[in-house]
Amino acid sequence: MGKCMMATAAIVVATCLAADPGARTTVRPDATREALVNPGMGWVFYYYDNSNWNYGADTKPGDTLDWFPGCSTIYFRLPWRDLEPVEGEMRWDVIDSVAQEWIAAGKQIAFRFTCSESGYEFAVPEWLPAAGAKGGFHQMKRKGRDDPGRRVYEPDFLDPVFLAKLENFLAAAGRRWNGNPSVAFIDVGSFGMWGEGHTGFTSKIPADRARKIALVHARLHKKHFPDTPVLISDDVASTSSKDMADPTMAALREMGVGLRDDSIMVSPRPRQWFHDGWARQFVKSGLPVMVESRHFFPDSVPECWYEGGLYESTIAYQASFQAIHWWPDELLERNRAEVERTNLRMGYRFVPKEVGWPTTVRLGEKCEILATWVNAGVAPPCEELVAAWTLLDEKGTVMWTCVDEKFDFRTLPPTLEDGEKPVKRASSVRFGWDWPYNGNYYGTPDPDVRHDGTLKRHGPRVPTLAPGEYDLCVSLGRRDGTPRIALPLKSGVGATRRYRLGTVRVMVPAGCGTGQ
C-alpha cells in the first residue's frame, strides 16, 4: 500500500492503462450489538444525589464504570450551599476531583445545582438570607412520610436578591464549563424540591407563579450556558397533565431547553409516566431528553418497578439519556439483559447498511462514494456530525481525508414504531492533489536546494498522495475530519473511531508521465 511514485515510469503507466474506471466495490458492513459510549447520550451515573454519599460512595477512586455497558456520563446533583459556602468562594474541587478521571477516559460530566432539598435544612448557602434574600422554613409533608422534626428552607424563587446571587453563581459555573465538550448537559435545578420544579411538599406555589419561575430560571441557565445543552424537569409545568399545547413547554422549546422526566416508574402502571408526548415534541425540535427512574429499591416497590420499564421509557420518550439511579453494580446485576437491550436503542446509533466506491480512483479527480445509512437509535444527536472518508496506509497513517460537509447526520430519521428509514447519500470526494510542474503554471521547474547543499529535482508531476493501494475508512465527527463518535462496526482502527471498509487503488491521472 502507499507505493511511492518513484517507481519506474513504465510501471506507473502500465498501472494507469490497467485501471478500470468503471469498477466499483460494494460492502454491507455487519453491525455489532456492542454498547456505544458516545457524547450526548447513554447511561448517567448519579455520583452525588440526594446526599453526598449517593451513589458514588461505593465506587473506588478512578472507577469510571467502564464495566457498566453504555455508561457515558457522571452526574453531580449538589446543593448550591456545598459549592459556594462563602459568597464568591467556589468549591469546584468537589466536582473536579471526581470528574477528572471520567474526562480522561473520554466520558462526559453533567450537573444539577439545587436550592431546595429534603435532606438538607439549607440547600442554599446559609449566607443568602443574611444578604437580604427572602425565604422561609417549611415542614416536609409527604404522603406516609410526615416527619414533624424535618424542616427545610425554601427561598423565594423570584426574589431579586436571590436571583442576583444565583446569577453570580451560574456565571461563575458558566465561565468554567459553558461550551466545554466534556459537559453533556446542565439541569435547571434551582427551582423546586430536588430541583424538579415542584413545591407540593413545601410552599405549594400556585401553577401560574410556578410557570413564571420556571421560565425565569431557565433563561438564567441558558444565558450562562448558551453553548451547552440545558434540561429542565417536566414537573415545572405539571406532574400529571398531558396537554400537548402546554404554554410552558412551548416556551421552553422555543428557548432551546431540553426535557427530563424524573418520575419514571414512581407510580404503578398504567401511570408509570405521563409526559412521553411532550418529550417527543422536544426531540422533534432537536432538543435532548433524559428519563430518570425512581431509586431502584427493587424489593420495596415491586408494584412500581417492573421488568421492561427502562427499555419502554427509553422508546416512549425517544430518550438520549437514562439514569443509573441506584448503586450501579446492583442495578446492572438485576437488570443486565434490559440494560443491554436498551443500549441498542437509546440515543443515536448510526449504521452504514451499504457503501460503494470506485475500486480505482485517479489522483485528484472527482469520484463518488455512495452510502446508505440508518439511525437505529430513537433520537438524533444534538451536535452536528458529518462523514469523513479517509485513506490509511499499511501503518494506519492518515494519508488523505475528504469530508462531506453537506449532510448533517442530525437529519437522519431515528428508528421508531414505523421502522428504519434508510437514507442514501452520495459523497463527492477527491483523493490526492496533483500539482503539475509541466509548464502549465511554472514552466520548467528549478531544483530545490536542501540545507546540506544537495539538489532535489522533481519529475513532470509532484503528487501529494503516492499512487498505490490504501484502506478506505469511514468516520462521523467534526467538519475538520476529526472522528467524534463510535459506530457499531467490528473494523475499528484502534481507538481512532475510524472504521475500515475495504481498499482503494489510487492511480495518477490519465496521460500520466507525459506531462499532459
Number of domains in the chain: 2
Identify the pLDDT of residue 346: 98
Are residues 102 and 61 part of one domain? yes
Identify the pLDDT of residue 452: 77
User: Which has the closest alpha carbon to 350: 323, 318, 372?
Assistant: 372
For residues 75 and 44, the answer to whether their CB atoms sit within 8 Å is: yes
Three-class DSSP labels, 327-374: CHHHHHHHHHHHHHHHHCCCCCCEEEEEEEEECEEECCCEEEEEEEEE
Residues in the chain: 516
In a domain, 499, yes or no: yes
Q: Is the sign of the CA dihedral 494, 499, 501, 504 positive or negative?
A: negative
Hey, how many other C-beta atoms are within 10 angstroms of the C-beta on 44? 25
What contacts 249, CB < 8 A, 6 or more positions away?
234, 237, 259, 278, 281, 282
In a domain, 516, yes or no: no
In a domain, 514, yes or no: no
Identify the pLDDT of residue 440: 47
CA within 13 Å, CB half, 166? 29
In a domain, 87, yes or no: yes
Are residues 90 and 128 part of one domain? yes
**CA–CA separation, 189 and 202 (whole Å):** 16
Q: Is the sign of the CA dihedral 310, 314, 315, 316 positive or negative?
A: positive
In a domain, 166, yes or no: yes
Q: Sheet with 386-392: list strands edge to edge.
A: 360-362, 499-507, 468-477, 386-392, 398-404
Are residues 331 and 436 part of one domain? no
**CA–CA separation, 54 and 78 (whole Å):** 11
Are residues 357 and 250 part of one domain? no
Q: Show pLDDT as tens, one digit a residue, over the chain (516 residues).
A: 443 332 222 222 223 334 466 799 999 999 999 999 999 999 999 999 988 888 998 899 999 999 999 999 999 999 999 999 999 999 999 999 999 999 999 999 999 999 999 989 999 999 999 999 999 999 887 655 555 557 899 999 999 999 999 999 999 999 999 999 999 999 999 999 999 999 998 999 999 999 999 999 999 999 999 999 999 999 999 888 888 999 999 999 999 999 999 999 999 999 999 999 999 999 999 999 999 999 887 666 778 989 999 999 999 999 999 999 999 999 999 999 999 999 999 999 999 999 999 999 999 999 999 999 999 999 999 999 999 999 999 999 999 999 999 999 999 999 999 999 999 999 999 999 866 544 444 445 566 677 777 766 555 555 689 899 999 999 999 999 999 999 999 999 999 999 999 999 999 876 554 333
Identify the pLDDT of residue 508: 80
Q: Is the sign of the CA dihedral 294, 296, 299, 302 positive or negative?
A: positive
**Domain endpoint, select from 280, 311, 343:** 343
Crossing angle for the helix pair 328-343 and 309-317, to the nearest 10 degrees: 50
**In which residue are the cell numbers 446508505 written?**
372
Pairing mode, if any, of strands 258-264 and 350-358? unpaired
The reply to whether omega before 55 is within 30° of 0 (cis) is yes
Are residues 143 and 23 part of one domain? no
Are residues 326 and 453 part of one domain? no
In a domain, 429, yes or no: yes
Are residues 198 and 291 part of one domain? yes
**In which residue are the cell numbers 408526548 written?**
277
Find the CATH number of the domain harbouring 335. Answer: 3.20.20.80
Question: What letter does residue 86 receive in the DSSP assignment?
Answer: B
Are residues 287 and 195 part of one domain? yes
Are residues 190 and 299 part of one domain? yes
Strand positions, DSSP E, 286-329 = 289-293, 321-324
For residues 163 and 220, the answer to whether their CB atoms sit within 8 Å is: yes
| DSSP assignment string, 389-419 | EEEE-TT--EEEEEEETT--GGGSPB-BTTB
Question: Cα angle at 309 between 68 and 189, to 5 degrees?
Answer: 75
Are residues 52 and 69 part of one domain? yes
**CA–CA separation, 354 and 223 (whole Å):** 43
Find the CATH number of the domain harbouring 396. Answer: 2.60.40.770
Q: Does the model's pTM come out above 0.85?
A: yes
Which structural domain range is residue 479 located in?
9-34+349-507
**CA–CA separation, 320 and 44 (whole Å):** 10
**Domain endpoint, select from 343, 366, 388:** 343
Identify the pLDDT of residue 494: 95
CA within 13 Å, CB half, 442? 12
**CA–CA separation, 71 and 439 (whole Å):** 59
Are residues 72 and 119 part of one domain? yes
**Domain endpoint, select from 325, 343, 361:** 343
In a domain, 3, yes or no: no
Hey, how many other C-beta atoms are within 10 angstroms of the C-beta on 449? 10
In a domain, 134, yes or no: yes
The reply to whether omega before 270 is within 30° of 0 (cis) is yes
Are residues 366 and 301 part of one domain? no
